[in-house]
A and B are shown apart, each in its own frame.
Chain A
Amino acid sequence: MSNTRHGLQVRTTGALVLFILGAIMAVGQQKPLPSVINASVPLYPRTSQMAHIEGAVRLRISTDGTRVASVEVQSGQPMLAQAAQDNVKTWQFEQHSPTTFEATFRYRLLKSKCDAQCNCRTAEKPSVLLQLPTDVEVNAEELMVCDAASSKSRP
């Protein structure tokens, strides 16, 4: 009885050691991310902007050593995912050994306020933040439907 328990203990410890070793090796072997040397600025797709669609897109990108070989959509709204994919395909990298990594595109709409003359402004400035090749943030102004005539008619 004590023998089997001892055996079980040894096996568990052995498995644990193997697991830890494996984890250490995996971290050690983690390839450095390739450097992007050429790309187009990702812009908010106009139709999504008008349709008030926002959200994050997660992509899995595989490279052939200089360019993007394939892009797999992990999650995200289809229109935004398409825009993100189109942008990723413009990326070119410094020569590296082919690799696969994940990138997240966050599309956000900024609330704007309009005055009586329909001059609309956002508190935050629209912007694009790039931390290539893994993080992209696209913040655009939310398009407002503003009727100057009706605002003027108001007291």
Chain B
Amino acid sequence: MAMFRSCFVGQFAVLTLLVATAEGQASSKPSDAVAQQARTVMPTVASASVPFYPRVIRAARIQGDVMLRVSTDGQRVSAVEVKSGPPMLVEAAKDSVKTWQFEPHTPISFEVTFHYKLLLPTKCDSECNCDSEEKESMLLQLPTNVDVSAKVPSICDPREKVESKR
């Protein structure tokens, strides 16, 4: 935890430094930073599979963020480098990214974040149809951001009509 915190502080310092530098430059030409960002054109995804939250991982109640660095060859994903994330989810995210195909572009490398979130069941009926407060959903902002939220498979026995526990 302490290491985590120091890491965090370190990152914050670097970030502050970066912001300060950016501000310094920005004061001379205000539109420079914005223009620079706008010029980095992200490739357009032309085809992809829906990134489902694998059932096994949901059953194991694993959630969290996965950060990947994706390199393209101009049309497909040529390499995926793992920056961070729980190992099982990293595999799921990598599998998903590998299904992406792009409109022809100059080979590029960019970062992608997958956020996996579990929805806990609040109520189950006698047939084990469980509800959660939030609906299962996937929000894709391709090619940089993917949000996946899905229910935890319920521990519910229809024969005994047991209510699942949170």
> Using a CB–CB distance below 8 Å, which chain A residues touch chain B?
32, 36-41, 43, 115, 117, 119, 121, 125-132
Contact = CB atoms under 8 A, between A and B. Distances in A.
Contacts, number: 55
Contacts of B52: 36-38
Given A40-B49, A41-B48, A125 B35 contact: no
B135 interface: yes
Given A117-B35, A119-B35, A121-B38, A40 B48 contact: yes
A129 B45 contact: no
Given A40-B49, A119-B38, A119-B39, A131 B141 contact: no
A127 B140 CA distance: 5
Interface in B43-73: 45-50, 52
B50 A39 contact: yes
B35 A129 contact: no
Contacts of B129: 32
A67 to B, nearest CB: 15
B136 interface: yes
B13 interface: no
Nearest to A141: B44
Contacts of B136: 131-132
Contacts of B142: 41, 126, 128
